[in-house]
Amino acid sequence: MAVTVIGGGIFGVTAALALRIRGHEVDLFDPDSPHPDAASTDISKVVRADYGADDTLTALGRRALLGWREWNSTFSRPLFHEEGFLLLSRTQMEPGGFEHESFRRQPNLRRVAPGFREAHPDWNADAYPDGYFNPAGGWAESGEVVRQLGERARAAGVRIVAEQTTVERVAGPCVVAAGAWTHHLLPELADRLRAVGQPVLHFRPQDPDPFRWRAPRFPVWAADISRTGWYGFPANADGLVKVANHGVGIEVDPTGPREVPPEWEERFRAFLRESIPALAHAPRVGERLCLYSDSFDGDFLIDRVPGRSDVFVAAGGSGHGFKFAPVLGELIADVVDGLAPHPRFAWRELGERRTEDARHA
């Protein structure tokens, strides 16, 4: 069967590769794969299985971690850096809270108190009296992952077409995996998906060494994320420290220009002054609005589109899709092959608007 995939981000490229491995002829359309404005085109993304009280996504996150470890042996160099994940809380962790519920679902973890100040000297320990470190997690070089998966897909026989296309121009089965652009290609999804931009800033400290991975001095971190949205990364090979916000975001038109509003820099600086003082005055050397394809309930949408027999949607990453890359392709290929969709990601009636537990909204 010949299948067309529209969109070359992490949903699209994993779908194309999985479908090709299953024997389908696959055309992947993207005007610039990987597209520079795609959510996955960045220097880093968090990989975690810490999902609060959500047992389904916790289990799926663990499956994805196994896949990341397997992928590392097949990339040109390791692109998943399993350096752990530091989750901090501004109050004592209590039942029902994101950090507490994540902590009790992960095996053999250590709480950061009382040795936080010594283990993580770059942080203001007075601001974060509790939290934990999970060694099963870290970050992936997201843009490079997408690029290498695209090369792998091409080598497997996927025809990558550097053009835009529409559903109406496609003959035969079509997977729309266009991220924040998806509801523009499928207008009937406008009540389920919307485009949201999340501010991301890159800082260059004068001495990046304290902010590099140091067993485990400055790993990937989340700073009371469900109540503040703040998270970030250790310095990469270029000495850049990425800080971002996983929050309400800014509703945007993905077809138009996008910039981080100027007032956001002071919000970042205020957070850094309180939490990581040595970064507070580091020069800002980069910025972007990370585009989310937000679903109404924070879950992915991977299913056949009702009323369109040969059209499938694979979108709604809602700011937490990339970490599941090693399992996304199979989830998408299953619905194209006529198998039942994952029950969490199947087509569903509109309901209460919500987000995944880590997101400040």
Parse the chain into domains and list their residue ranges: 2-336
Can you give the pLDDT at residue 34? 66
Hey, which CATH number is domain 2-336, 3.30.9.10, 3.40.190.10, 1.10.287.3510, 3.30.700.30? 3.30.9.10
pLDDT in tens, the chain (361 residues): 999 999 999 999 999 999 999 999 999 999 876 677 777 778 999 999 999 999 999 999 999 999 999 999 999 999 999 999 999 999 999 999 999 999 999 888 989 988 899 999 999 999 999 999 999 999 999 999 999 999 999 999 999 999 999 999 999 999 999 999 999 999 999 999 999 999 999 999 999 999 987 767 999 999 999 999 999 999 999 999 999 999 999 999 998 888 899 999 999 999 999 999 999 999 999 999 999 999 999 999 999 999 998 999 999 999 999 999 999 999 999 999 999 999 999 999 999 999 999 999 8
343: its two tokens: 């029950």
Does residue 285 contact residue 202 with C-beta atoms inside 8 Å?
yes
Determine how β-strand 159-161 pairs with β-strand 110-111.
unpaired
Can you give the pLDDT at residue 33? 64
Q: Which residues pair with 140 in a beta bridge?
A: 45, 80
Distance CA 11, CA 329 (A): 7
Q: Tokens 């507070």 identify what position?
A: 280
Can you give the pLDDT at residue 156? 98
- Spatial CA neighbour of 331 closest among 319, 317, 320, 341: 341
Distance CA 311, CA 69 (A): 33
DSSP string over 107-126:
SS-EE-TTSHHHH-TTS-GG
Decide: helix, strand or coil at residue 135: coil
Say which DSSP state 116 is in: H
CB atoms closer than 10 angstroms to residue 61 = 21
